[in-house]
A and B are shown apart, each in its own frame.
Chain A
Amino acid sequence: MVALVGLVTLTGWFAGVRGLAAWGEFSPVTTPAGAALFVAWGSAMILHVLMPDDDFGAYMAAFVAVFAAGFGIYALSGFAFGRPIEAAYFFGRFPLDVDRSLAPLVSTSWLLAGLATLAAIRWPGSRFGLAANALAGLLNLANLIVVLGYLYGTPVLYGSGDRAVPLPSAVGFLLASVAVMLMLGPGYYPQKFLVGQSARARLLRIFLPMIAVVIALDGLLAHFAPRQSGLHVSTAVSVLVFVGSSIFIVYLATRVSGDSIDRAEQELQAAERKVAATSAMFESLFNSIPDTVVVVDQRGTIVRVNRATEATFGYDRDELIGKPIEQLIPDRYRTRHYGHRAGYAARPRVRAMGAGLNLFAQRKDGSEFPVDIMLGPLDTALGPLVLSVVHDMSAAKSAQVEIESLAGELERRVGELESVNKELESFSYSVSHDLRAPLRAVDGFSRILAEDYDDKLDAEGRRVIGVIQENTRRMGQLIDDLLAFSRLGRQGIASAPIDMGELVQGVVDELTQGMDLGRLEIRVGDLPVVPGDRAMIRQVFVNLIANALKFSGTRPKSIIEIGCEPREREYVFFVRDNGVGFDMQYANKLFGVFQRLHRQQDFEGTGVGLAIVQRVVHRHGGKVWAEAALDQGAVFSFSLPASTKEMV
């Protein structure tokens, strides 16, 4: 726009039209040199603003600025030495042939504009930026006065004769100063007044332009009116416009500021309601905390307590507030607590008070109870406070005592169990060692008797010796079985996948060795691979199949079936025979140690085999059961878990 002003005036010079160079009969013309400078300044600034990253624009602008300042100094020096510069000389003669020298204010304005632009471009943001803003402001004010002078036809404001400032120059400077101030940004006064959300800034933003427009309109009216009518008409119009616009502006100002005050009031009320609600919520929160909360000021005086405090300590709120915190502490700890409190005031932080210590608090009735205390500093508008959360540990403490005594009891029991286990072990050891020796002696010496005194014995004597030997043999078997059974309880389970089909076939082959195979029919179904202790599970099948063979041995043909039914998460194995079976009413005795359902002379046995089966299966996490009817055969079943988790 500045460049445009310059162009228009230059055009006036070249075209010889005074109106274009002076913009009014009262205004002198703007010199060609000034006009050219405006063009140059405007162009350089456009360059600079359009290409902020390009140094060329900045350099150009700086150069023009320096030149303008120099021009101003040169012009001013002309005045100082009494030889005003004949502006027209600069470029020779123009079609518009007017002699015109530079006005002093124009020269000063150039100096100001040059310096301000230079400072704004080269050192924005520094103290020079501030200076630039100040210079631009000065430039703005001076030329605003000139422009107003023209608007209201007041020569006092724009000067007369050679000192008069041309209107185009004043407008150009006005625009340039605004440009510099805009460039410097909102960081400086007076621009700062216009930015932001404050009511002041908002009002200024609305009314400054409005007032400017009104003043301009009014001025223009005052300026042009006299040509058409009399002086009084112009004055009347001017007064009317002025009064009308004043009323309008005041109305608008009241409305805008009133609105914003009302809005602020409403917001304030809403905020207050919110604060009240929040405060009430925190109050009820504070009161509903199940632990005791006591707020203490720096001197150790109780400031606030919650409802739990009243319930826990037996005091009313009024009996506590304003009293020293030591009122809640047993006498013997009070003195020490003063010291702790001083130490905490010096270095306040969130911490557990005396972690691991046994802390006690005192109720109104003087009774004490164990507590756990958390401390936290509160930085409030009322000064620094200390928040202490006191947790009644009575229940926890007694629970702990209970736990400790139970743990002690458990430990004692485990110890007992261990010693019992040791005793059992040494028992089985001595069974193994000590019961065998006399048995061996009985057997051995009866053997010696039979060998060395055979000629002295009759048939009855030999039979008696045979009975002795038969019984020692059975006793030996009993001892071995008993040992095997007791060993099962102590051995760890070595679990690995077992191919049951292969294992069972091996057992069947071993047990039927030397038997009349024509008298046997053994069917082995499809058997899965199941995890377990191979040696133990093998013993189970040995015992069950041996039993099946034994109790079906009286049949013309033994029929034995071994199979498996997969179930959810377990496998059920069974061994079925067509033997003598048993009465189900004795089924509960089947798996007991030394329990037998048959007479020794009918079926041999020690009564340990099924007890071993049960123990092994139980230790694998399974179950054993049997179904039978007298003389109808029997089915022995046991389950094994599909995974090893349930083993013990």
Chain B
Amino acid sequence: MDFNEVDILYVEDNPNDVELTLRALKKRNLANRLYHAEDGAVALDFLFARGNFAGRDVTAVPKLILLDIKLPKVDGLEVLRAIKADERTRNVPVVMLTSSAEDRDVVESYRLGANSYIVKPVDFENFSQAVSDVGFYWAVLNKPMR
């Protein structure tokens, strides 16, 4: 996989959620240029071309970052803060995709500059619908800044 050709960066630690999400995105042909990071540290390495991703073009940013909040090592809000603090990644749309419906998470996410906040529905049909809609909107419909 060419790390410079990634449209969607998907940060999620729960393998079941990953499988369900990928299934939903595949149905809309959105999973081809997707990279899945299993924790916040990997996500930051990917975005800023560090560690295993040294040599990646930092300016080749994805069209969309799907970000969970509760993550091992570096949590989602930290990742969001780093993304929005860096000139190169600031304009990449970030959609929080999380189980938490807590007000403080919602408020903090928007305060840090998240573009959207989605609570993962428990119901699978709703969940599939939400994930594929979000992927389609941001990765296909939305015109990013280049």
Residues of B51-107 whose CB lies within 8 A of A = 69-70, 98-103
Band of interface residues on A? 20 to 34
Interface string of A430-441 (1 = CB under 8 A from B): 001110111111
Q: B100, B102, B122: which contacts A472 (Cβ < 8 A)?
A: B122
> A406 at interface (Cβ–Cβ under 8 A)?
no
Band of interface residues on B? 20 to 34
Q: Which residues of A contact B23 (CB under 8 A)?
A: 448
Q: Which residues of B contact A434 (CB under 8 A)?
A: 70, 99
> A489 at interface (Cβ–Cβ under 8 A)?
no
**CA of A443 to CA of B14 in the docked complex: distance in angstroms?**
15
With A436-B122, A447-B124, A473-B123 as given contacts, are A441 and B100 in contact (CB-CB < 8 Å)? no
Do residues B101 and A440 form an inter-chain contact, with CB atoms below 8 A? no
Interface string of B9-26 (1 = CB under 8 A from A): 000001011001001000
Do residues B20 and A441 form an inter-chain contact, with CB atoms below 8 A? yes
With A447-B124, A476-B122, A476-B123 as given contacts, are A440 and B100 in contact (CB-CB < 8 Å)? no
**CA of A14 to CA of B21 in the docked complex: distance in angstroms?**
153
> A410 at interface (Cβ–Cβ under 8 A)?
no
With A440-B16, A444-B16 as given contacts, are A432 and B102 in contact (CB-CB < 8 Å)? yes
Do residues A439 and B100 form an inter-chain contact, with CB atoms below 8 A? no
Residues of A479-506 whose CB lies within 8 A of B = 479, 483, 487
Residues of B100-146 whose CB lies within 8 A of A = 100-103, 120-125, 127
Do residues B17 and A440 form an inter-chain contact, with CB atoms below 8 A? yes
Do residues B100 and A445 form an inter-chain contact, with CB atoms below 8 A? no
Q: A437, A479, A483: which contacts B14 (Cβ < 8 A)?
A: A437
With A440-B17, A440-B20, A441-B20 as given contacts, are A432 and B125 in contact (CB-CB < 8 Å)? no
Q: Main SS of chain B's interface residues?
A: loop
Do residues A440 and B125 form an inter-chain contact, with CB atoms below 8 A? no
> A429 at interface (Cβ–Cβ under 8 A)?
yes
Do residues B99 and A444 form an inter-chain contact, with CB atoms below 8 A? no
With A445-B16, A447-B125 as given contacts, are A440 and B102 in contact (CB-CB < 8 Å)? no
**CA of A189 to CA of B14 in the docked complex: distance in angstroms?**
121
Do residues B20 and A436 form an inter-chain contact, with CB atoms below 8 A? no
Do residues B124 and A440 form an inter-chain contact, with CB atoms below 8 A? yes
A478 to chain B, nearest CB (A): 11
Do residues B120 and A441 form an inter-chain contact, with CB atoms below 8 A? no
Q: Which residues of B contact A432 (CB under 8 A)?
A: 99-102
Write the chain A residue with the least CB distance to B15: A441
Q: Which residues of B contact A443 (CB under 8 A)?
A: 122-124
Write the chain A residue with the least CB distance to B122: A476
Do residues B122 and A439 form an inter-chain contact, with CB atoms below 8 A? yes
Residues of chain B at the chain A interface (Cβ within 8 Å): 14, 16-17, 20, 23, 69-70, 98-103, 120-125, 127
10 contacting pairs across A/B (C-beta < 8 A) = A432-B99, A433-B70, A436-B99, A437-B16, A437-B17, A440-B20, A440-B99, A446-B124, A448-B20, A487-B103
Residues of chain A at the chain B interface (Cβ within 8 Å): 429, 432-434, 436-441, 443-448, 472-473, 475-476, 479, 483, 487
- Known A-B contacts: A434-B70, A437-B99, A444-B127. Give 4 more (CB < 8 A): A436-B99, A437-B120, A441-B17, A443-B122
